[in-house]
Amino acid sequence: MERFARRLVSSLPGLVFRGAGEVHNRPALAVTLYAAALGGVLASSFGRIADRTEVHDSSQETLLRGMKEEGLRTVERRYASNAEIYTPGDPADSLYLLLSGVVRTYKTYGELKEATTALLKDGGVFGALDLTEEGGRQQETAEAVTEARVLIVRKSALAWLVRRRPEVSFALFSAFSERGGQTEALHGILLQREVTSRLAMLFLHLGKRFGERGETGELTIDLGLTHQQLACMTASTREAVSKAMIELREEGLIDVRDRKRIALPDMLALLERVENGSARKSSQAASG
């Protein structure tokens, strides 16, 4: 798949994939690399399926099978839409496996402001991601976006399982790094200066993770997100999101269907929009 993405990317004007060692501080570098990161999605737009999620799913299966076969005590719980799963201060002695549905985690900053830190779909793992600190507490809030089924496992039980079945640790590593990728993506969003770019970046990210491919082959994000929610994910305001959405819509980069279904006709154009938007005002080769 990576080969495929490389071919795909290098077939576009201004996007050249370079090998290791050649990639220092060149124009359009960020586009290139991010395009490579988007490889799964881009490739699947040509009829192929991203393999990242498959890998991940299989590792979750490994984990679930291991837990089952060793008779680990787990609790499966259902949460209605908007229900809180845990809040800051709750003991962080368990890990949460999302079996179905969508869950988001967020932090509150300022007095009333909240920022979404991650959006998870089935197969995701959340809760403070470490097995060592038993006495820790949650630092953020997790809430169900859609109805969700969650499997709750004590970290101590998981630690026991890891000792007994080392291979499940790989499932955990995989889940952790998946989560790491999420937060990395959030950086990609927050580091953009302009609201429009941040929003574009967010859509790229959401499209990659939650996009559904319709009949026409277009990727659509159908999470029923309000402008307020988008503002929370881009560290911005409702109004600014409204304006940025209109801007992106007029440029044909996104397309809002009936109610809150966001279609992404051209992810690469969207990506270039991000680049150009921020490239316009970049200066001062930084050395810090």
Residue ranges in contact with DNA by CB under 7 A: 193-196, 226-229, 235-240, 242-246, 259-260, 281-283, 287-288
Q: Taking the mean position of all CA atoms in its chain, how far away is CA 221? A: 13
Q: Is 18 in the site for a copy of itself (CB under 8 A)?
A: yes
Q: Burial code of 29-47, b = ≥16 C-beta within 10 A, e = fewer?
A: ebbbebbbbbbbbbbbbee
What string marks each residue from 119 to 138 as x (binds a copy of itself by CB under 8 A) or -?
---------xxxxxx-x-x-
By beta-carbon proximity to DNA, the closer residue of 4 and 210 is 210
Instruction: List the single partner that 240 binds among a copy of itself, DNA, none, CB under 5 to 8 Å by kind.
Output: DNA
By beta-carbon proximity to DNA, the closer residue of 132 and 287 is 287
Count of residues that interact with a copy of itself, criterion CB under 8 A: 89
Q: Burial code of 212-235, b = ≥16 C-beta within 10 A, e = fewer?
A: eeeeeebbbbebebebebbbbbbe
What string marks each residue from 172 to 201 as x (binds a copy of itself by CB under 8 A) or -?
xxx-xx-xx--xx-xxx-xxxx--------
Binding a copy of itself (rule: CB under 8 A), the pick from 199, 230, 240, 267 is: 230
By beta-carbon proximity to DNA, the closer residue of 132 and 283 is 283
In angstroms, give the least distance from the CB of 200 to DNA.
Answer: 11
Binding a copy of itself (rule: CB under 8 A), the pick from 36, 64, 152, 269 is: 36
Q: Is 14 in the site for a copy of itself (CB under 8 A)?
A: no
- Angstrom distance (rounded) from CA 187 to CA 207: 16
Q: How is residue 35 written in tokens?
A: 């395009």
Stretch that binds a copy of itself, among 72-80, 83-91, 208-216, 244-252 (CB under 8 A): 83-91
In angstroms, give the least distance from the CB of 150 to a copy of itself.
Answer: 17
By beta-carbon proximity to DNA, the closer residue of 165 and 238 is 238
In angstroms, give the least distance from the CB of 101 to DNA.
Answer: 18
Instruction: List the single partner that 117 binds among DNA, a copy of itself, none, CB under 5 to 8 Å by kind.
Output: a copy of itself
Q: Is 75 in the site for a copy of itself (CB under 8 A)?
A: no
Instruction: List the single partner that 232 binds among DNA, a copy of itself, none, CB under 5 to 8 Å by kind.
Output: a copy of itself
Instruction: List the single partner that 124 binds among DNA, a copy of itself, none, CB under 5 to 8 Å by kind.
Output: none
Q: Is 238 in the site for a copy of itself (CB under 8 A)?
A: yes
